[in-house]
Amino acid sequence: MAVILRVENLHKSFKVGFIPKKKKILKGISLEVKEGEIFGYLGPNGAGKTTTLKCILGLIFPEKGNIKIFNQPHLSLKAKEKVGYLPENPYFYDYLTATEFLQFYCQLSLLKKKEKEEKIPQLLRLVGLEESADLQLRKFSRGMLQRIGLAQALIHDPSLIFLDEPLGGLDPLGRKEIRDIIVRLKEEGKTVFLCSHILQDIEMICDQVAIIVNGQIVNQGSLQDLISEKILFTEITLSGINSDNLKNIGEVISSTGGKTLVKVVNEDNIEKVIDIVHRQKGKIHSLIPRTATLEDLFVDMVKQR
Amino acid sequence: MKIKAIAANTFREAIRDRILYLLLFFAAASLIFSRLLALLTVGDRVKIIKDVGLASLSLFGALMAILMGTGLVYKEIDKKTIYTLLSKPIHRYQFLLGKYLGLVLTLLVMLSLMSLIFLAIVFAHTLRVEWPLLVAIFYIFIEICLITAVAIFFSCFSTPILSSIFSLSFYLIGHLSWGLEAPISKMKPGLVKILAQIVYTFLPDLENFNFKTEIVHHLPLPSKVFLFSAAYGIFYIIFLLALAVLVFRKRDFI
Amino acid sequence: MKKSIVALILIVSLAAFMALKVKVDKISRAKIPGSSIIYLPSGKYLKYGTFGYSSLLADLIYLWAIQYYSNYSIKDRFQYLDHIFSVIAELDPHYLDPYEIGAIIAVYEARDLNLAFKILDRGLQKNPDQWIFPFEAGHYAQMTVKDYHLAQIYYKKAMEIPGAPPITKRLYANAAFNVGDYQTAWNSWKEVYQTAPDERIKKIASAHLYRIKSTLDIKTLKKAIARYKLKFGTRPQTLSELVRAGLLASLPRDLDGKNYLYNPQTGEVEAPSNPWKR
């Protein structure tokens, strides 16, 4: 698969404070995004996610480093034509209606008139806003703004789409819808670069992941490789047995209303717990094996710094 | 054209700004006030109406230019609407030029409205349409375009309040710089005098666009003045916009 | 756009507008910016609009007026001279320069003497302690139109203001003499003589007194000569004959006690000395 975004050794500092002190935000960021994948870019607040993104998009100028999009210099018009961007907490011109808004952006992308007329209703349908086509943006809810922002990012049919916290502030239904749209984009052959805090969503849809902490990439690779499928431990909810019996087998996490939650690490110990319950005529309410999640990995990485 | 798209969008946004209508109201008020002044004055009554009228147009036009221009680019940066715009395949200079042209269009509309009221009041007094007044108004418009360019330039890197102060200073300097000509010409020849002359030539001379007195008093004017003054204005505007583009090009949008 | 192209445009436009500015400056324009001041309403109303900055406004208008009136290319600039200076006076009556300068412009540029008097009168009215205004008015009366009567009136006014220089009195006396008011002139010069601080002034006073006496005496003598002629058909041979004929009680002598010189051929009577060379 071709590498369509290549970032090499990106450095950026800002001058902060009244007596300007140089603060280094990006300390040598390198990453590669291949065509057709959904790339997750995560990190704690202030790590440099948005800064990286803005460097790629030409909103900020890095001190050092190289960025190439589709093998073009990232600031060239050719590169920009293939790129779409949805910023975090988007804000748009209040007084325009959804349709007028998309028309304006169409004009900036040099689409032909006919294409424009078809594209706009199509996009509105895609993001689920066809009923609000003539509503002024000032009356849009947060979720609606996210969607129209997504529509704007897709307006000129870009091949590489940058989304900065696209699921922020959405209700679970909204998040599902956007997730579905992103997956659909992948199916259409597009590449998505996703910055997010919400690790569960990243886990659900991303192929590749890079973790940035304190201006440096601390881990990078395919999601599968990063999270082993090894089962970490099993959580068993049971009742009706004497907790003392469980002492060496598992860890009692909590015990409320007659139900006890036990954490069992070894697979063999699970058998033993089931055995004890059976013998003491107790009841097993649930048995859930827990694999390593992205969150665990994430917290680990952050703690290491 | 992309510049046209941005200009149209800017116009739509600017024309909704309530400040414009507030200033329009004050302009209309002062035009009506000129009628009152005419009653108190010693001399030709219509002349005072013309004078106050043209002065109002000039002053309120300048205020509109400053207030709108200084907020224009800053608002886009502050509200972050600029992010999506600049990530599209457009050059930064196209954005800036589009903003400028949109604002100029807005001011043209506002100035035309004020002029209409003004000419109507003059017509009510003289029962004639005074075409030479349009020449004076045209040059007022050029002056306003220049002030707008300054405001946009400052708005590229400064907050609205500071930009307004700088733009206002530009306006004042522009109207007072003619006073330097006499003292400089009397200086002893030498390096200091040459430096002073260079600074003097660089300083804006907004009086070049001020034909109010001649037109109101029906004084003759050599036709060269019109051409050169307009050219002066246009080149100064180009200079300021080029400067703004240079500043804007490498600006980081944090 | 490439940086170099923008920089090029920058430099070219800079050069262009600076060159144009030089060109435009060379074209002279028959105006001074701000001439709309001419249409200011009367100063009384203006004061209300200036929110306490009336004296500043007076300064500004005055400064503007000086520029305006120095600009010879404006042809009929004196049309509103009275109005402008009256506005300045209303705004700041105690600003003294404008009265003097306004009068100067009126006299020498506008050639309107009455306006000058009007301005100076106003100055005195608003500032009764300023002897300079009637002093200058007297000068203008005396020197430009030789109106000694008016000059006398003005010098008197000036004289009476404490602080007026001693020369004022002398000018007053001189004006009185020229108008023919010999009594006043005599009295005034006598006072000057008596209060003279030094020899020089004494000498001047004495000369004037001599002149007054001799003028009066010569008049008297001439009148007597005319009566003699009427009575006797010819002019007398000597002045003493006038006394012998009973036409004069005694022969007047000049201030030094000398006799007047008489030429029987022409009938002219002269003072024996030059008042200034005694």
Q: Is C13 on the interface with B (CB under 8 A)?
A: yes
A101 and A74, same domain (yes or no): yes
CA C148-C154-C160 angle, to 5 degrees, is: 130
Best-predicted range by mean pLDDT (A216-230, B119-133, C116-130): C116-130
C32 has pLDDT over 60? no
User: Distance from C100 to chain B by nearest Cα, in Å?
Assistant: 23
Residue-level pLDDT at A244: 75
Residues A270 and A204 in one domain: no
Mean pLDDT of C240-252: 84
- Helices B2-14 & B92-126 angle (0-180, nearest 10): 50
Closest CA to A98 of A120, A67, A116, A72: A120
**Residues 69 to 128 of C: which have CB under 8 A from any B CB?**
80, 83
Q: In the numeric block, which tokens belong to residue B233?
A: 């204005």
3-state secondary structure of A24: strand
Residue holding tokens 């306490």? C52
Contact B89 A108 (CB under 8 A): yes
Least Cα separation, residue A248 to chain B (angstroms) = 55
Burial class (CB in 10 A: 0-12, 13-18, 19+), A257: exposed
pLDDT over 90 percentage in chain C: 26
Structure confidence at residue B65 (pLDDT): 92
Count the alpha carbons within 13 Å of B219 in the hemisphere toward its beta carbon: 19
**What residue type is assigned to position B237 of the chain?**
I
- Chain centroid to CA B7: how far? 18
* pLDDT value at C122 more than 90: yes
Indicate whether A43 and A56 sit together in one domain: yes
Asked if pLDDT for residue A165 goes beyond 80, the answer is: yes
Range of the domain at A114: 3-226
Residue B44 has a pLDDT of 64
- At residue B166, the pLDDT reads 93
Share of chain A above pLDDT 70, in %: 98
Structure confidence by residue, pLDDT tens digits, B35-93? 777 776 655 677 777 877 888 888 899 999 999 888 888 888 888 888 888 888 888 89
Please check whether residues A176 and A264 belong to one and the same domain.
no
Per-residue confidence (pLDDT) for residue B42, from 0 to 100: 57
The pLDDT of residue C26 is 78
Confidence of residue B204 (pLDDT cuts 50, 70, 90): confident
Please indicate if any CB of chain B lies within 8 Å of the CB of A85: yes
Task: Report the DSSP pairing between strands A160-164 and A216-222.
Answer: unpaired
More confident residue, C32 or B184: B184
DSSP one-letter code for A189:
T
Which of chain C's residues have a Cβ under 8 Å away from the Cβ of B58? none
The shortest C-alpha distance from B250 to chain C (Å) reads: 10
Inspect the interface and report whether the beta carbons of C39 and B40 lie closer than 8 Å.
Answer: no
Q: Any CB–CB contact under 8 A between A219 and chain B?
A: no
Question: Does any CB of chain B come closer than 8 Å to the CB of residue C21?
Answer: yes
Q: Quick one: average pLDDT of A135-153?
A: 88
Say how many domains are in chain A: 2
Residues C92 and C54: beta-carbon distance below 8 Å: yes
Q: What is the pTM of this model?
A: 0.72
Q: What is the span of the domain harbouring residue C252?
A: 214-277
DSSP state of C77: G
Tokens at residue A2, please? 């071709």
Portion of chain C with pLDDT greater than 70, in percent: 89
What average pLDDT does the structure give for chain B?
85
pLDDT at A191 over 90: yes
DSSP line for B222-249: -HHHHHHHHHHHHHHHHHHHHHHHHHHH
pLDDT tens sequence across C157-188: 999 999 999 899 999 999 998 988 888 899 99
B2–A107 C-beta distance less than 8 A:
yes
Q: Do C30 and B220 touch (CB under 8 A)?
A: yes
Q: Which of A256-270, C101-115, C130-144 has the least mean pLDDT?
A: A256-270
Whether residues A35 and A137 share a domain: the answer is yes
Residues of chain B in contact with residue A92, where contact means CB-CB under 8 angstroms, are 81, 84
Interchain CB contact of A75 with B (< 8 Å): no
Q: Which of A226, A251, A279 is the last residue of a domain?
A: A226
Touching partners of B (3+ C-beta pairs < 8 Å): A, C
Tell me: do A238 and A219 sit in the same domain. Answer: no
Domain boundaries, given as residue ranges, for chain B? 2-249
Nearest CA in chain B to C34: B213
To test the contact with chain C by mutation, choose from B41, B156, B216 the residue with the greatest count of C C-beta atoms within 10 A, namely B41
Confidence at residue C47, expressed as pLDDT on a 0 to 100 scale: 65
Instruction: Determine the pLDDT at residue B131.
Output: 81
Helices (H) and strands (E) in chain A, counts: 10, 14
Name the H helices within chain C.
3-26, 43-49, 54-70, 81-91, 97-104, 113-126, 132-144, 148-159, 167-179, 182-194, 199-232, 240-244
Q: At what angle do helices C54-70 and C97-104 cross, to 10 degrees?
A: 20
Structure tokens at C171: 């000018």
Mean pLDDT across C31-43: 57
pLDDT digits over B2-32, tens only? 888 899 989 988 888 888 888 888 888 888 8
Residue C39 has pLDDT above 60, yes or no: no
Neighbouring chains of A at 3+ CB pairs under 8 Å are: B
The verdict on a CB contact (< 8 Å) between A59 and B9 is no
For residue B212 the two structure tokens come to 């109010």
User: Under a CB-based contact definition with an 8 Å cutoff, are residues A158 and A84 in contact?
Assistant: yes
The predicted pLDDT at position C133 comes to 94
Identify whether C4 is part of a domain.
Answer: no
**A302 contacts A294 by C-beta, under 8 angstroms:** no
What's the mean pLDDT in A158-171?
A: 87
**B78 interface with C at CB cutoff 8 Å:** no
CATH code, A132: 3.40.50.300
Q: How far apart are CA B198 and CA C16, in angstroms?
A: 14
Together in a domain, A47 and A190? yes
Chains A and C, touching by 3 or more CB pairs within 8 angstroms: no
Contact assignment for B80 to A152 by CB distance below 8 Å: no
Domains: count for chain C: 2
CATH of the domain at A274: 3.30.70
Q: Where are the beta strands (DSSP E) in B108-206?
A: none
Q: Given a cut of 70, is residue A204 above it in pLDDT?
A: yes
Residues A49 and A169 in one domain: yes
Same domain, yes or no, for A300 and A164?
no
Sign of CA dihedral A66, A67, A71, A74: negative
